[in-house]
Chain A
C-alpha cells in the first residue's frame, strides 16, 4: 500500500471573484522510502498540491489518503493532530522558532506529542550530530547560517519519525553550496533511515538528485519519471 494515495484530486482557489484550478484531477501514489521531486513553473500548483498532501489545505474534489485515512474528511483539530503525528514539514524559510535553541527546535514536535524528555533529547542530539551541527545544540536560529537553519528544519521534520517529510522549495533561499549540502543530507537520511521525502523545486540541480521526478503544469501531472 502506498504511503500517499491521491485520487482525482482537485483544488479551486477563489479570489477576487476569479477562480483558479490550481490542482486539476491529479492521481498519484507515493510509496514508502521514495525520494521524489515535484517540479514545474511558478504558478503551476506545486505548493497547492503539497499543502493538500500535508493536510494544510483541504481538497475541492477527490481524495488524499495517508496510510488509508482521508485527510479531507477530518475536522481541523483532527488534521492538526494528524500532521503532528504523521507528517514532517520543511518550508522555504523562517521554519524555526527564533526563541528556541537548535536542540529545542528539533525537540519541539516530540515535546508536543508528550514524549519523555530523555527520549526526545537523545533523539534530537543524535540527529543534530548526524547533520553535522553537534556543536550548535544550544545556539538559537538567528546565529545559524541559512543552510544550517534548513538542516535543523530537516532534523525537526523527521525527529518524531513521521510517515513522510514534505519540503516545499527547501533550497530556494540557499546558495549553491548549501543547496548541495542539504540535498546530500536529505538523500543520506532517505537511504540510511528510510525517510520518505517529497519535495518541490525550481532548481534543476536539485531535481537531478531526485530518484523520481514529477513535472507539474497547470495543476496537472505532465510527466512522472524514475531516474
Chain B
C-alpha cells in the first residue's frame, strides 16, 4: 500500500500541467460553491435571528389558536406556570403575550391596530424594544399608559401625553374599550408594523380584553436555537393536548420557503458546476489510464496484481481530488472567515428592504463547517466515479497485448 501510494503520488506529478489544471478546477469549484452557499446560509441566519426576535424560538398557545388567532382561544396564564417553563432545561426566557386587533382613534382618524399585552421587563430583555424608543418613556408592569409605534401615532396625529381610545372585541363577546395615555413611542423597522403596533403591560391588556389570567401565547427562547424540535416535543408531552407548541419554523413559514427556493437554486447551480468540472476530471483520469496501457502491462508482467493496479488508479484519482480539495479549502476558508468578520454593508434599495424585514442590511457569509466537509466529499465522490471506466479498462487489460 505504501509502495502504491508513493507511486500514485509521483504519478500525479508526472504530467504537471494537466494535474495543475485538474487541481485548480477542483479548487475553483469549491471556492465558488462554498462562498455562494455561505452567503445564502449567512443570510438565513440573519433572517432567522430577526424572525425569532419577533416570534421566539418556540411558542405555546391554547390548541388551535394559531390558525384563527381568535381572542376566544386563550390559555390560562399564571406566574407559576411561566416560572415552571422558565426552569425547564434549555430555556432562557418565557414571554407572555396577549395580542388582538382593535380600533385606535385619535382626534379625527381611526385605524385598525394590533394591541400587544406584554411583560415589559422580560420582553425588553429579549427584543430590546425600549432601545427603539424615540420619544417619552418605556412602559413598566404597573404602567397604565401605552407605547405606540411612531408611524401610527403620526397617522392618528397623537403625541406623547395624548390619549388614545381603543375599541375592540374582548374575551367571550365582551366589548373591549378604554382610554390610555401615550407614554412613549417606538420606531419600528418594518413599515407595516410601524403603522400598527400598540404595546401595554399584560395586566392592562388583560383588563382591556376582559381576559384576566389569560394569555394568547408564551414565547420561549432557547439556549440553542437548533434544539427547537427536542425541546418542543418535551414541552408538548408535559403540557398535553390542550396546548399547541410551535417552532419558529412553523411560525415563520416564509423563511422555510425562501430557504427551499435558495437551496433549489444552489443545488442546480452547483450541480452544473460540478458536472462541468466532473467531466474534465473524468477525462483526466481516463487519459491517465489510457496512455499507460503499456506501463500497466509491464507492471502486471513483473508481478503487480490487477487489483493492485486498480488500487493505484483509485489512489491517483483520489489524491488528485484530495490535493484539489486542500487547495480549494485553503482558499475558501480564509475568504469565508474574512467575509464573516467583515460584512459588506448594503446601501440603497436592497439595504432598505433588509431593514423593512428587521434584518441588519449587510451581506455576511455564514461560517458553516459542515459545508466545507460536504463540498470536499462531493469532489472525492466525483474522483471515485471517475475511476469506474478505468477500472473496466484494467479488468480487460491483457498483459501480452499491453506490452507489445
A84: chain B residues within 8 A (beta carbon): 302-304
Give the dominant DSSP class at B's interface.
helix
User: Is the beta-carbon distance between B10 and A99 smaller than 8 angstroms?
Assistant: yes
B305: chain A residues within 8 A (beta carbon): 77, 80-81
User: Is the beta-carbon distance between B403 and A56 smaller than 8 angstroms?
Assistant: yes
A112: chain B residues within 8 A (beta carbon): 3, 302-304
Q: Which of A57, A76, A100, A109 contacts B302 (CB 8 A)?
A: A109
**A-contacting residues, B386-404, CB 8 Å:** 399-400, 403
* B: contact size bracket: 20 to 34
A99-B302 Cα distance, complex, nearest whole Å:
17
Q: Does A108 contact B (CB under 8 A)?
A: yes
User: Is the beta-carbon distance between B403 and A83 smaller than 8 angstroms?
Assistant: no
Residue from A80, A98, A111 whose CB has the most chain B CB atoms within 10 Å:
A80
* A: contact size bracket: 20 to 34
| Nearest CB on B from A25, distance (A) | 20
User: Is the beta-carbon distance between A56 and B301 smaller than 8 angstroms?
Assistant: yes
Q: Which of A80, A111, A113 contacts B300 (CB 8 A)?
A: A80
Q: Does B132 contact A (CB under 8 A)?
A: no
User: Is the beta-carbon distance between A51 and B3 smaller than 8 angstroms?
Assistant: no
Q: Does A54 contact B (CB under 8 A)?
A: yes
User: Is the beta-carbon distance between A89 and B10 smaller than 8 angstroms?
Assistant: no
Give the dominant DSSP class at A's interface.
helix
Residue from B13, B300, B302 whose CB has the most chain A CB atoms within 10 Å:
B302
| Nearest CB on A from B307, distance (A) | 8
B224: chain A residues within 8 A (beta carbon): none
A91-B302 Cα distance, complex, nearest whole Å:
11
User: Is the beta-carbon distance between B10 and A100 smaller than 8 angstroms?
Assistant: yes
A56: chain B residues within 8 A (beta carbon): 301, 399-400, 403
User: Is the beta-carbon distance between A76 and B295 smaller than 8 angstroms?
Assistant: no
Residue from B13, B298, B306 whose CB has the most chain A CB atoms within 10 Å:
B298
Q: Does B157 contact A (CB under 8 A)?
A: no
User: Is the beta-carbon distance between A99 and B294 smaller than 8 angstroms?
Assistant: no
Given known A51-B400, A91-B403, contact A80–B303 (CB-CB < 8 A): yes
User: Is the beta-carbon distance between B294 and A89 smaller than 8 angstroms?
Assistant: no
B303, closest chain A residue (CB): A84
A56-B299 Cα distance, complex, nearest whole Å:
11
A91: chain B residues within 8 A (beta carbon): 298, 301, 403
B294: chain A residues within 8 A (beta carbon): 94
B400: chain A residues within 8 A (beta carbon): 51, 56-57
A188-B95 Cα distance, complex, nearest whole Å:
97
Other A-B pairs, 19, CB within 8 Å; known A56-B403, A83-B301, A94-B294? A56-B301, A57-B399, A76-B306, A77-B305, A80-B304, A80-B306, A83-B302, A89-B298, A89-B301, A91-B301, A94-B298, A95-B298, A97-B7, A97-B299, A99-B13, A100-B7, A109-B303, A111-B3, A113-B303
The 6 A-B pairs of least Cβ separation, nearest first, read A84-B303, A99-B10, A57-B400, A56-B399, A51-B400, A111-B3
Interface residues of A (CB under 8 A from B): 51, 54, 56-57, 76-77, 80-81, 83-85, 89, 91, 94-95, 97-100, 108-109, 111-113, 156
Can you sample 19 A-B contacts with CB below 8 Å? Answer: A51-B400, A56-B301, A56-B400, A77-B305, A80-B306, A84-B304, A89-B298, A94-B294, A94-B298, A95-B298, A97-B299, A98-B14, A99-B7, A99-B14, A108-B302, A109-B302, A109-B303, A112-B303, A156-B302
